[in-house]
Amino acid sequence: MATGTGLGSLIPVAMVLVGVVTMLKTSARRRAKRRSGQTPGTELEKRQAAAAEMERRMASYLAQRDTRGSDAAQADENRQENGR
């Protein structure tokens, strides 16, 4: 029974150790990126540029789809009128 209470106090300690190790790994990764010349700003700019390009492509796709849809609707109307 005494071991059960001892294990209960180890869980918070283990969680703190995991947090400390995670922080150290994260800071080591950031330091390595800084040394390689890659700054966080360039990563952010790349992501923003990719997102903007995706938005442009989606807008173009939607515009083409809307145009094709109205052309198809007009063609159907013309066929119906001519078919009478």
Q: How many CA atoms lie within 13 A of 57 on its CB side?
A: 6
Give the per-residue pLDDT at 84. 52
Residue 70 sits in the same domain as residue 53: yes
Residue 49 sits in the same domain as residue 83: yes
Give the per-residue pLDDT at 27. 92
User: Could you list the residue range(s) of the whole structural domain that residue 2 is in?
Assistant: 1-38
Residue 73 sits in the same domain as residue 56: yes
Residue 60 sits in the same domain as residue 79: yes
In this structure, what token pair is assigned to residue 2? 């005494």
Residues 6 or more apart from 40 whose CB is under 8 A from it? 30, 33
| pTM for this prediction | 0.39
What is the mean pLDDT for each group of 10 consecutive residues in the chain (84 residues)? 67 92 92 77 86 95 81 63 57
Structural domains of the chain, count = 2
Q: Cβ(40)–Cβ(33) under 8 Å?
A: yes
Residue 11 sits in the same domain as residue 45: no
